Amino acid sequence: MKEKISLQKVLPVISCFFVMGIVDLVGISTNYVKQDFGLKDSIANLLPLSLFLWFAILAVPTSMIMNRLGRKRTVIISMILTLWAMIVPMVVYNFPVMLLAFALLGIGNTIIQVSLNPLLTNVVRSERLTSSLTMGQFIKAIAAFLGPIIASWTAVRFGDWKLVFLIYGLVTIAVGIWLMLTPISEEPLKQKTSSLGKTFALLNDKMILLFFIAILFVVGIDVGLNTTVPKFLIEKCHIPLEQAGLGTSLYFIARTVGTFIGALLLVTFSAKRFFTISMLVAIPALFVMLFLSEIWAILTLVFVVGFAIANVFSIIFSFALKRKPENANEISGLLIMGVAGGAIILPLMGLVADAFNQSVAMGLLLVLMGYLLYCSVMIKEEKRADN
């Protein structure tokens, strides 16, 4: 049964997207861990791999478990795991322990991404889903861009960048308690528990498959930029990590502004057209950036790219959920499995960077953006269901 629309129910659910955004700490953390332990790119990028691998392993099983436990309870479990991920680096700090911490963060984030998007459908109407998901991404982006700023500030002010984990752990506790105290009715037990075979059979739908690959690529782009922009700035502009790390914050500021504006525009604007225009802006901006060496020019284009792709994830997700709403849990699991794109793309970029340079590594993202442009065109074959 769909909940009556109420800010008392919507706000705690939307706030959970902040906890979802903690996953983006992996970018700046990878750079600090690389610096602290003198690691190569290909080794340091095992941190994102230890995180995003769990999206491939657990996303679909989580969707099946969610049918039994309910969406809200599944989100709360994810927050407990996220909290543990924040605690571990504060107790012991070495590379193996950081791999463990980000594995825990990956497990928790897999669960919250699978369960939180469908939970939002319990408290908002269908016609507001795209804009609501985009608003959730706006909240997620706030957590993402604050992470590098907090890490840099605590590194300079207290000599310990890891204090960002303590701060985000306290936020996780607060948001988790808020959600627990909010009554949200669900009917998960009325659904038949899906099997792995039936869930993966949804990929026989060519549009679901298209959306799955698109999610894989958009996350690969996001994590690739998140992690590589500081290294790109260090290589091109010869600045220290403490300054270069702010390039990641600028990228997430752009995403934050983009998702906020997108949440407003997508209430009335065609999501398909919005998607196409976004990619037509992002592709040339990234291409030009690869050939620049002036810091302000690079940062300007980082902002443009971040702004342009800010709403792509939520647009794709909303189209997929609306494709077969009766299978929302299973589709969510499939799409979040695509988030493992971050685990596939980033190690490849690390190998290319070690062999060539950061510019060539970032050039790989242009191929992924080309597919997203193709996806935006193919979506036009569908009946209008978003407005």
In this prediction, residue 120 carries a pLDDT of 85
Domain-located, residue 387: no
Question: What is the 3-state secondary structure of 295-315?
Answer: HHHHHHHHHHHHHHHCCHHHH
For residue 56, give the 3-state DSSP assignment. helix
Domain-located, residue 113: yes
- How far apart, in whole angstroms, are the C-alpha atoms of residue 257 and residue 261? 6
Question: What is the 3-state secondary structure of 116-169?
Answer: HHHHHCCCCCHHHHHHHHHHHHHHHHHHHHHHHHHHHHHHHHHCCCCHHHHHHH
- How far apart, in whole angstroms, are the C-alpha atoms of residue 209 and residue 203? 5
| Each residue's pLDDT tens digit, 250-305 | 887 888 889 889 888 887 788 888 999 999 999 999 999 998 888 889 899 999 99
| Each residue's pLDDT tens digit, 52-80 | 788 888 888 888 888 888 889 999 999 99
Number of independent structural domains in the chain: 1
Q: Which domain holds residue 79?
A: 7-184+192-381
On whether the CB atoms of residues 114 and 59 are closer than 8 A, the answer is yes
In this prediction, residue 141 carries a pLDDT of 79
Domain-located, residue 253: yes
| Each residue's pLDDT tens digit, 145-185 | 788 889 989 988 998 999 999 999 999 999 999 999 988 77
Domain-located, residue 112: yes
Domain-located, residue 1: no
Q: How confident is the model at residue 384 (pLDDT cuts 50, 70, 90)?
A: very low
Domain-located, residue 386: no
| Each residue's pLDDT tens digit, 79-90 | 999 999 999 999
- How far apart, in whole angstroms, are the C-alpha atoms of residue 295 and residue 135? 31
H or E element in which residue 371 lies:
helix 358-378
- Which residue in 284, 298, 13 sits closest to 129, CA to CA? 13
Domain-located, residue 2: no
- Which residue in 85, 22, 382, 387 sits closest to 206, CA to CA? 382
In this prediction, residue 342 carries a pLDDT of 63
- How far apart, in whole angstroms, are the C-alpha atoms of residue 184 and residue 112? 16
Domain with residue 74: its CATH number is: 1.20.1250.20
Q: CA angle, 206 as apex, 307 and 53 as ends, to 5°?
A: 60
